[in-house]
C-alpha cells in the first residue's frame, strides 16, 4: 500500500487582501504569502500585472474553494493615462509604436467616456494572458508573431475623469466586471481622441466583496512574521504551537465565508451539519427558508460549512468545507 505524502505547511484558511507592490508578479505574491503564513495551499483571485499595484485577494487553505466567487466580483481601478504615445504593451513596459502632438482638453475627454460605459466590445492587449490556439498571446507577441485577438464583451459600470495633472496626463477611475483590460481602455481612448495613449500608473482598489479597509501590506506581514523556533524547539508536529506562533499573522485573515456574501446563507443545526459533512442533502425548515436557489451556502455555529443548491426546499451540498 502506497504511503500518503505528508502535507507541507499549516492547514490555515481564510482570505488575505494583499496590497501588492509594483514590480511583483501575482504568482510571486502568492508564493510569498504562502511562505509567510506557512500555509499548505494558496491561490489568487485575479491576476494583477507586475507594473500594477493594489488589491490581490489571496486565498489560503479552504478559501481556495471560493476563488471563483471573488474572481466574478466587481473591480475598481484608479489609473493614469499618458497622452501622446501608444506602446506595444499599452503600458510603460513596451516600445513606442505611434506618437502624436495632439493633447485632449477636459471637455474632449469627458465626451468620449460614455462610449466606454455599459456593455461594450473590447479587444485585449496583444501582450496579455489570452490564449490564441492554445498559446498565451504575450508569448506569441514576444516571439515576434502578429497577434490577432478578437474583441469580446465586457461590462463597465462607471468610468470617471478624476484629475488632469497636466495636458499630457489624465487620471481616471473605473468600476468594471470580470475580464476588462484597463490597458485597452487607455489605448482605445487615445485613438478616439486622436492623440494616442498608454497606462502610466495602475492601481486596483477594490475587488468585491473586499475594499481598501481590508488591505494588508508586505511590510505589515513581514513585521508580524514569527522568528524561527530556537534549536530543539521545533514545532512541526504540533498544530497548537504553530497556531500560537502565527496568531499575530492569522489575525490579518478574513473568514472564508466573506467571499460568499452574494449568496443566500442559511444557518443549520448540529444534526443537519453532520448530514452535510457526510455529503447528504438536508430539508430546510423554517418560514423564511428558501425553496429554490441555483447557489446557496449553509453555516454551522457561524462558520461556512458548504456551498450547494436548493431544490424543492432541499439543500444539496456541492462543496463541503473542513474546519
Report residue 238 as a C-alpha cell: 504540533
What percent of the residues of the chain are helix, what percent strand, and what percent coil, each to the nearest 5?
A: 25, 35, 40
Sheet holding 282-283, edge to edge: 265-267, 293-300, 303-311, 314-320, 282-283
Do the Cβ atoms of 43 and 70 come closer than 8 Å? no
In sequence order, which residues have a C-beta less than 8 Å from that of residue 12 and are 6 or more positions away? 37, 38, 39, 40, 60, 61, 246, 250, 253
| Phi, psi (deg, nearest 5) at residue 92 | -65, -15
Q: Name the β-bridge partners of 4.
A: none
Give the separation between CA 98 and CA 127, rounded to whole angstroms: 16
What number of CA atoms fall less than 13 Å from residue 296's CA on the CB side? 23
- The beta strands (E) that lie in the chain are given as 14-20, 42-44, 53-60, 75-83, 85-87, 96-99, 118-122, 131-132, 135-136, 152-166, 169-176, 197-207, 265-267, 282-283, 293-300, 303-311, 314-320
In three-state secondary structure terms, 256 is helix
Quick one: CA dihedral 206, 207, 211, 215, positive or negative?
A: negative
Question: Catalytic site residue 235?
Answer: no
Of 49, 90, 91, 188, the active-site residue reads 49
Residues with active-site annotation: 49
Amino acid at each position: 500500500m502506497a504511503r500518503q505524502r505528508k502535507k507541507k505547511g499549516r492547514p490555515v484558511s481564510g482570505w488575505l487582501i494583499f496590497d501588492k507592490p509594483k514590480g511583483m508578479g501575482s504568482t510571486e505574491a502568492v508564493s510569498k504569502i504562502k511562505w509567510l503564513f506557512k500555509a499548505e495551499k494558496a491561490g489568487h483571485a485575479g491576476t494583477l500585472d507586475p507594473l500594477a499595484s493594489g488589491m490581490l485577494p489571496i486565498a489560503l487553505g479552504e478559501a481556495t474553494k471560493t476563488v471563483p466567487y471573488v474572481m466574478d466580483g466587481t473591480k475598481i481601478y484608479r489609473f493614469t493615462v499618458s497622452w501622446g504615445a501608444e506602446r506595444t504593451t499599452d503600458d510603460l513596459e513596451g516600445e513606442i509604436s505611434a506618437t502624436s502632438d495632439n493633447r485632449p482638453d477636459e471637455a474632449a475627454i469627458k465626451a468620449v467616456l460614455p462610449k466606454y460605459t455599459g456593455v461594450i466590445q473590447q479587444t485585449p492587449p496583444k501582450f496579455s494572458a489570452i490564449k490564441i490556439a492554445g498559446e498565451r498571446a504575450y508569448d506569441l507577441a514576444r516571439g515576434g508573431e502578429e497577434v490577432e485577438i478578437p474583441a469580446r464583451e465586457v461590462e463597465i459600470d462607471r468610468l470617471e475623469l478624476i484629475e488632469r495633472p497636466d495636458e499630457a496626463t489624465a487620471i481616471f477611475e473605473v468600476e468594471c466586471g470580470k475580464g476588462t483590460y484597463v490597458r485597452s481602455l487607455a489605448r482605445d481612448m487615445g485613438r478616439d481622441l486622436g492623440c494616442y495613449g498608454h497606462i502610466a500608473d495602475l492601481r486596483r482598489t477594490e475587488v468585491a466583496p473586499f475594499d481598501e479597509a481590508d488591505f494588508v501590506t508586505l511590510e505589515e506581514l513581514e513585521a508580524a512574521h514569527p522568528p524561527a523556533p530556537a534549536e530543539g524547539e521545533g514545532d512541526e508536529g504540533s498544530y497548537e504551537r504553530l497556531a500560537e506562533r502565527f496568531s499575530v499573522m492569522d489575525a490579518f485573515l478574513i473568514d472564508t465565508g466573506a467571499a460568499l456574501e452574494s449568496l443566500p446563507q442559511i444557518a443549520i443545526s448540529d444534526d443537519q451539519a453532520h448530514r452535510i459533512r457526510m455529503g447528504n442533502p438536508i430539508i430546510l425548515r423554517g418560514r423564511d427558508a428558501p425553496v429554490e436557489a441555483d447557489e446557496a451556502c449553509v453555516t454551522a455555529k457561524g462558520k461556512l460549512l458548504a456551498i450547494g443548491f436548493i431544490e424543492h426546499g432541499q439543500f444539496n451540498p456541492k462543496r463541503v468545507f473542513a474546519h
